C-alpha cells in the first residue's frame, strides 16, 4: 500500500529499519500475525512495515477501523496472502475481487443456504457428526484437539453442504485433503511475506513444485464430489451443491459456470472448516484450563439441553457457552485480518489521507485488544460479552467474521456448529490439560493452537 499522508503526519514503524531490506529485524516468516500484534501494542493503532520494498499499513484502533469499515468509502481488498490463494480458488466468494460478476451471482444464489431456515436442515447432521467425534474419543484417553476439531468440521461441511463424507473418524490417518490444504495455505502466506522478484521464485522453487501437486490433488477431490453427485444423484435437497447444480441446469440468472462451481466448493471446504476448527480449539484450550468456568458451562448445558442432544432451538439458549466462543474469537480470531481499499480520496482518523485505490490491513487480534474491551485484554473473560458490555462498545470493535457485504456468508453456520460441538463435549467428556503446555499458535492463513493435547475420559456423573 502507498498511503498518502498529510505533510505533518508520518506513520510509526519498527525501529532499526535497514536500507533495501526494510523492517526485517525481529521478523519471523512463520508468525507474521503475532509479530504484528506485538508491534501494534508497541507502535499504536496504525503503523507501517516495509519489507523488501513492499509497504504494508496495519490498523487496529477501533476509531480507524470504524472509518475503514464504512462501505460508502471503502470496499474489500485482497491482501497479499488472500490474493495468493486465487491460484486455487479463483473468483470464489472469499478470493473474488468485488467487481467480478461471479462474486455477486454466487452471493445472491447461495445466501438462502445460510438462513435460519437452512440451519434447521443442517442441525441433525451437525449433531450426528459430533456423535461420531464422541465415539472416536471413546477409543482414546489422549487427543490432539486441533487435529480432531479439524476432522469434525471438515466432515460437517462435507456432509451438510455437499452430502459427501471424508470418513474423518474411520481413517487411521487424516484425510489427505487436510494435509494438502494446510500446506497450500501455509505456503501462500509465507510466499507473500517475501515478495521480491526472482528471489522469491528461487527461495520457494521446491515448495512451489509441491504446491502445484497439492493444488492438483485438491482439484481432484472437488471433481470427485461433483462426479459423485451427478453419477448417483444422491444428496440433500437444497444443500450448496444442489443449489449450484440446479441453477446451472435451469438457466437461473445467477447460475455459475463449471469452473466457478469448483471454486466455490473449494472455498467452502477450506473456509467452512478451517476457521471453525480453530475457534473450537481455542475455546477448549481456555475452558480446559479453568475448572470453575468448565463447571459453570457444563451446568448451563445440563439445564438447557438436558441429557441428550439439543433440539435446534436449545442451541442458542446456552448463552455462557456462546460467550466463551465469542471470547475465544476475540483473543484469537481464526481469520485474523482483512483489507479495505479506498473507493475515493478520503481521510481516516486524525488526518491520515488515502487516495483512491490505497488499502490498509485491519489486524483483528489487535482490534480485539483495543481498550474498549476493558482492562487486561490479554486475559480470557467471557463476561466481556454480557449484553450490557456489548452495548457499551462501538459496533465495529468486534469483527471475527469480517465486515460489510463481504463478511463471512457462513457465520451463522459456523456458530451453530461450534455451539453444538462445545456443548456436546461439556455434556459428555471430562478433560485434563497438560499443566506444562503453553499456548503456541500455528499461522497458516488461519490461526490454530499447535501441539495442544488433552487427556480425556467419559464424564463422571
Q: Is 275 one of the annotated active-site residues of the chain?
A: yes
Residues 6+ apart with CB under 8 A from 115: 412
Supply the DSSP string of 252-296, one letter for each residue: -TT---HHHHHHHHHHHHHHHHHHHHHHHHHHHHHHHT-HHHHHH
- Helix boundaries (H) for 19-90: 32-43, 62-68, 80-83, 86-89
Block residue for cell numbers 455477486: 104
Q: Is 162 one of the annotated active-site residues of the chain?
A: no
Neighbours of 114 (CB within 10 A): 18
Residues 6+ apart with CB under 8 A from 313: none
Task: Considering the candidates 3, 125, 153, 275, report the single residue annotated as catalytic.
Answer: 275
Element (H, E) at 329: helix 319-331
Residues 6+ apart with CB under 8 A from 299: none
Q: Which residues of 289-305 are buried (b: 16+ CB within 10 A; e: fewer)?
A: beeebbeebbebbeebb
Contact 103, 91 (CB under 8 A): yes
Contact 352, 3 (CB under 8 A): yes
- Helix boundaries (H) for 76-175: 80-83, 86-89, 101-110, 116-137, 145-162
Of 152, 77, 161, 78, give the one whose Cα is nearest residue 114: 161
Of 414, 415, 427, give the one whose Cα is nearest residue 294: 427
Beta bridge partners of 384: none
Q: Is 75 one of the annotated active-site residues of the chain?
A: no
Task: Considering the candidates 184, 380, 385, 408, report the single residue annotated as catalytic.
Answer: 408
Q: Tell me how far apart the alpha carbons of residues 422 and 372 are, in angstroms, rounded to a whole number.
A: 28
Contact 310, 454 (CB under 8 A): no
Report how far apart the first and last C-alpha atoms of the chain are (Å, whole number): 57
Which DSSP symbol is given to 311? Answer: P
Task: Considering the candidates 114, 166, 169, 401, report the single residue annotated as catalytic.
Answer: 401
Compute the residue count for the chain.
461
Contact 48, 360 (CB under 8 A): no
Residues annotated as catalytic are: 275, 401, 408
Amino acid at each position: 500500500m502507498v498511503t498518502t499522508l498529510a505533510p505533518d503526519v508520518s506513520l510509526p514503524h519498527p525501529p532499526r529499519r535497514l536500507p533495501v531490506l526494510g523492517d526485517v529485524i525481529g521478523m519471523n516468516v512463520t508468525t507474521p500475525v503475532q509479530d504484528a500484534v506485538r508491534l501494534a501494542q508497541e507502535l499504536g493503532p496504525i503503523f507501517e512495515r516495509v519489507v523488501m520494498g513492499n509497504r504494508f499499513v496495519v490498523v487496529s484502533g477501533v476509531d480507524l477501523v470504524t472509518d475503514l469499515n464504512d462501505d460508502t468509502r471503502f470496499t474489500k481488498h485482497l491482501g497479499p496472502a488472500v490474493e495468493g490463494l486465487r491460484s486455487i480458488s479463483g473468483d470464489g466468494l472469499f478470493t473474488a475481487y468485488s467487481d467480478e460478476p461471479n462474486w455477486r451471482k454466487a452471493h445472491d444464489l447461495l445466501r438462502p443456504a445460510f438462513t435460519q431456515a437452512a440451519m434447521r436442515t443442517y442441525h441433525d447432521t451437525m449433531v450426528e457428526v459430533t456423535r461420531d467425534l464422541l465415539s472416536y474419543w471413546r477409543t482414546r484417553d489422549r487427543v490432539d484437539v486441533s487435529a480432531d476439531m479439524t476432522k469434525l468440521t471438515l466432515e460437517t461441511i462435507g456432509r451438510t453442504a455437499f452430502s459427501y463424507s471424508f470418513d474423518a473418524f474411520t481413517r487411521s490417518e487424516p484425510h489427505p485433503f487436510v494435509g494438502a490444504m494446510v500446506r497450500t495455505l501455509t505456503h501462500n502466506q509465507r510466499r507473500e511475506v517475501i515478495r521480491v522478484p526472482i528471489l522469491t521464485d528461487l527461495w520457494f522453487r521446491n515448495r512451489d513444485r509441491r504446491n502445484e501437486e497439492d493444488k492438483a490433488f485438491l482439484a481432484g477431490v472437488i471433481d470427485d464430489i461433483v462426479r459423485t453427485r451427478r453419477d448417483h444423484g444422491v444428496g440433500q435437497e437444497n444443500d450448496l451443491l444442489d443449489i449450484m447444480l440446479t441453477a446451472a441446469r435451469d438457466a437461473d440468472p445467477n447460475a455459475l459456470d463449471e469452473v466457478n462451481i469448483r471454486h466455490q466448493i473449494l472455498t467452502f471446504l477450506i473456509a467452512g472448516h478451517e476457521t471453525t476448527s480453530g475457534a473450537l480449539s481455542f475455546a477448549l484450550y481456555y475452558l480446559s484450563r479453568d475448572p470453575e468456568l468448565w463447571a459453570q458451562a457444563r451446568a448451563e448445558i445440563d439445564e438447557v439441553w438436558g441429557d441428550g442432544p439439543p433440539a435446534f432451538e436449545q442451541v442458542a439458549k446456552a448463552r455462557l457457552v456462546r460467550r466463551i466462543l465469542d471470547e475465544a474469537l476475540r483473543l484469537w480470531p481464526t481469520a485474523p485480518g482483512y483489507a479495505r481499499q479506498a473507493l475515493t480520496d478520503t481521510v481516516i482518523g486524525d488526518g491520515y489521507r488515502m487516495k483512491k485505490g490505497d488499502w490498509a490491513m485491519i489486524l483483528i487480534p489487535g482490534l480485539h485488544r483495543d481498550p474498549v474491551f476493558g482492562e487486561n485484554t490479554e486475559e480470557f473473560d467471557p463476561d466481556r460479552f454480557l449484553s450490557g458490555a456489548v452495548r457499551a462498545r462501538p459496533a465495529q470493535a468486534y469483527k471475527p467474521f469480517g465486515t460489510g457485504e463481504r463478511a463471512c456468508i457462513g457465520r451463522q453456520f459456523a456458530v451453530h456448529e461450534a455451539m453444538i460441538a462445545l456443548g456436546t463435549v461439556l455434556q459428555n467428556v471430562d478433560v485434563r490439560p497438560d499443566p506444562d503446555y503453553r499456548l503456541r499458535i500455528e499461522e497458516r492463513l488461519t490461526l490454530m493452537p499447535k501441539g495442544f493435547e488433552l487427556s480425556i475420559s467419559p464424564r463422571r456423573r
